[in-house]
Each structure stands twice: as structure tokens, then as C-alpha cells.
Amino acid sequence: MKKIRFVTDSVCDIPKDLIEKWDIGVVPCYVNYGGKSYADDGVELNREEYFKQLADMPDHPTTAAPPPALAEEVLTKWFEGADHLIVITTPAKLSGIYNSMRLGGQKLPQDRITLIDSGQLSMAIGWQVLIGAEVAAKTGDLAQTLNAIQRIRDHQALYAGLSTMEFLRRSGRVGWAAAGIGALLQIKPIVKVGGGEVVSEARVRTFSRVIDKLIELAHQHAPLDKLAVLHINNLEGAAELRARLKDIMPEDTITTGCGPTLGTHIGPGALGLATVSKSWKA
């Protein structure tokens, strides 16, 4: 039995109780505004208050990857007493986080650390980490653990429905023309994440249709082994999603808020789903 430990970054949105249960190391990303830089660690920033203030901030905040020195500090700490360290990160295509983790782990024995580009965001990263940690605890086998993580990647999906395109426009993550059209027509985009890319899944006119579409998409991946209902200061919307997904919802379904690193670009009111189909176990 090998002792296999996990480290990820704060984009994963794994709830604090599960971070503690599985002893997961989390390297915080940073949010910059008002001339200061804040760690997205759930301590320096009050997430609820941050999102309440976001729309009225004179300058839109920016987000940043953790410095390699901080990644090194966390990786070194979690490596102590472990036979192997698995590091699962935000995609290299979308952020500098992967590279920070790569640099941060260079001093560790390279045959005892595995760096994985999750290709995902939010709890879609989280499910790779959590199920990986569960398999590692049960088997103590590196090959079985890495195989499980790969199968999760092949049988998971992440969808997000935005209440407005305004925050994408402000953050520069979408073209001005597309944002302008969205505002003009009150289009609500639904995006899908996979393979390190964010692609348009659908565009609807009202937020009630966003919820309808998310439910439809979730059913396409049933039967589900895991489900996380995601929101940004929208507990009411998250509760509606849960109520309407009751027929396919696993018992251990998670409802969790997206952190500022991701939420800064998506904006308050957004809803999302991170699914893992039961077929990953086949």
C-alpha cells in the first residue's frame, strides 16, 4: 500500500469539509483589485461580499496564477510522508497555473510526483481529485489511481449558464462584438468545458431557459455517479436545479459556490453542473 497524496489549485471549488476529509493540498490563485492582491483561499476574500460588490467596482478585477514559490511550498509540505504526490490543475490552455505547479515541483523526486492537466474547471477538476483520492485510499496503487482519474476525465462534463455576458466582456475573455450582441439581444450563453477549452453549447433568451437547458444536458449524462450543482451567489437557482434533478441526482450531490478566480470572469447569478456518469466504472 502506497501513501498517495493530492494537491490541486483553488479553481477546483472542492468544499472545505471534503478538502479536510481527504487531506488535499490547495494552492491558492490570486484576485487583484483596488491596488491589492488577494489569495483565493476562502480567508482573505469573503466570496459572498466580493460578488455583491463586483458589478460596482470601478476597475474590473484581474486574476493571476500562484507564484511558483508558493506552489513549491505547498507541494513540498504535502510530499512529506507520502510515497507519491498527484497534482491536478487548471488547464494549461486557460491559465498559467499548470506551469506554476510544474516549476514548483521541480525540486521533488520526479519519479514520485505526477502532474496532471485536468482539462477542466471548478468541480470537474474537483471530481478528478476526490475520486482519485478515494481510489488511492482504497487501493494504495498508483496505476489504479491514475487509471481512475483518466476514466473520470472520459466520462465527465461541465456546463455553465451565465446570467449576463457583461463580466466576460469586462474581463476581456470574449470579443467585444460578441458581448455587444449578447447584451443587445439579452442572450444567455451556456458553455461546456472539456479538453482545456470553453465552447458554446447553447444560447437562450431568458435565465429560466438556462435552467431548462442545464437540466436537459444533465439527463444526457445519466445515470450519474457524481453531481455538483454550482452557483455564484445564486442559492435560489441552485435549489431549483436540485429540485428538478431529483430523479437522477446521486445521494451525495454537492452544492457549492464558484470561487473568485473563475467567478470574476463569469459573474454573479451564474449556475453550473459538473457531472460524472456511472459509465466511468465500466
Q: pTM of the entire structure?
A: 0.95
**H or E element: which one contains 263?**
helix 260-266
Q: What pLDDT score does 164 carry?
A: 83
SS3 category, 148? helix
Residue 177 clears pLDDT 70, i.e. is over it: no
**Helix ranges (DSSP H) in 2-96:** 16-21, 47-54, 68-79
Q: Which CATH number fits domain 4-29+65-154: 3.50.50.60, 3.40.50.800, 3.30.70.260, 3.40.50.10170?
A: 3.40.50.10170
Q: Which pLDDT tens digit goes with each residue over 182-219?
A: 566 678 889 999 999 888 888 888 999 999 999 999 99
Is 242 within 8 Å of 255 (Cβ atoms)?
A: yes
Per-residue pLDDT, 216: 98
Asked if 255 contacts 228 with a C-beta cutoff of 8 angstroms, the reply is yes
Torsion, Cα 61 117 198 195, to 10 degrees, reads: 180
pLDDT band at 3 (very low <50, low <70, confident <90, very high): very high
Residue with cell 504526490: 85
Min mean pLDDT across 146-155, 190-199, 244-253 is at 190-199
- Which residue shows C-alpha cell 514548483? 104
Per-range mean pLDDT, top range of 156-170, 172-186, 255-269: 255-269
By three-state DSSP, how is residue 70 classified?
helix
Number of other CB atoms surrounding residue 103 within 10 Å: 15
Q: What is the DSSP letter of 147?
A: H
- Break the chain into its structural domains and give their ranges: 4-29+65-154, 156-281
Taking 70 as the threshold, does the pLDDT of residue 264 lie above it? Answer: yes
Write out pLDDT tens, residues 46-61.
Answer: 888 999 999 999 999 9
- What does the alpha-carbon distance between residue 256 and residue 2 come to, in Å, rounded to a whole number? 31
Owner of C-alpha cell 461546456: 192
Element (H, E) at 99: helix 97-104
C-alpha angle 76/81/83, rounded to 5°? 95
Specify the 3-state DSSP secondary structure of 31. Answer: strand
- Cα(104)–Cα(107) distance, integer angstroms: 7
CATH class name, domain 156-281: alpha beta
Report the distance separating Cα 275 and Cα 127, nearest Å.
9
